A and B are shown apart, each in its own frame.
Chain A
Amino acid sequence: GENVEQHPSTLSVQEGDSAVIKCTYSDSASNYFPWYKQELGKRPQLIIDIRSNVGEKKDQRIAVTLNKTAKHFSLHITETQPEDSAVYFCAASRNNNDMRFGAGTRLTVKP
């Protein structure tokens, strides 16, 4: 089955700097790669996703890049703000709906 690895496990940046979180996946048939944000005590919520037919997607300060050949994808957050502090999870899935998640990255944005 699919195996997703996520790095780093913790990340601390100064407000205004950029943050990058990287994930690798094992199943070359995976074609859907979402990123979820989980604030303390709350449920995970989707912030951006990408399908295997595109290499990059951007939504305001958030972007995701996908390298199918290398089987890795990354989340980029620019101009970070204290409210970006949370745990971020990457995930990978095929069409059969059994999604696998990375272990998470705890991002801290220091004011």
Chain B
Amino acid sequence: DGGITQSPKYLFRKEGQNVTLSCEQNLNHDAMYWYRQDPGQGLRLIYYSQIVNDFQKGDIAEGYSVSREKKESFPLTVTSAQKNPTAFYLCASSVTGGVQNEQFFGPGTRLTVL
């Protein structure tokens, strides 16, 4: 299960606060992804990055922001603009090279808004 880590495992936020979820990988993967998982809705893509200093919005990017300053790191900030942030957040990474390949997932962060 090593190679891609997320922290913290559990996170509690008060309404109106921004919080940042950490995602780190030592797999030398170029591509990294953030997904939100809600019961019965599968994994929904928030943001993805194919290379350092570049990222694209996924299907539900509103209220979230990301950065990709280093290859190993892809932090996700949940802003106060996200109306329903309570969810399980999964980070993933994969090799690129022109074709899609297996995504390796981190253990996830469960965010609860109090």
Contacts and interface: CB of A to CB of B under 8 A. Distances in A.
Interface of A: 1, 6, 9, 31-32, 34, 42-46, 49, 51, 89, 93-104
Interface centre among A32, A46, A89, A99 (most CB of B within 10 A): A99
A41 B40 CA distance: 15
Interface string B29-45: 00101010000111111
Nearest to B102: A46
Contacts of B90: 43-44
B38 to A, nearest CB: 10
A43 B100 contact: no
Contacts of B59: 1, 100
B40 A95 contact: no
Contact of B42 (A31, A45, A93, A101): A101
A34 B103 CA distance: 9
Contacts, number: 62
A40 to B, nearest CB: 12
Per CB-CB distance, the 7 closest pairs between chain A and chain B, nearest first, are A32-B100, A103-B42, A43-B105, A93-B100, A101-B43, A101-B42, A104-B42
Contacts of B35: 101
Interface of B: 1, 31, 33, 35, 40-45, 48, 50, 56, 58-59, 90, 94, 96, 98-103, 105-108
A103 B45 CA distance: 12
B100 A45 contact: no
B43 A98 contact: no
A97 B105 contact: no
28 contacts: A1-B59, A9-B40, A31-B100, A32-B99, A32-B100, A32-B101, A42-B107, A43-B105, A43-B106, A43-B107, A43-B108, A44-B43, A45-B105, A51-B99, A89-B42, A89-B43, A97-B31, A97-B94, A97-B100, A98-B45, A98-B56, A98-B58, A99-B103, A100-B45, A101-B42, A101-B44, A103-B40, A104-B42
Given A43-B1, A95-B99, A6 B42 contact: yes
A94 B106 CA distance: 22
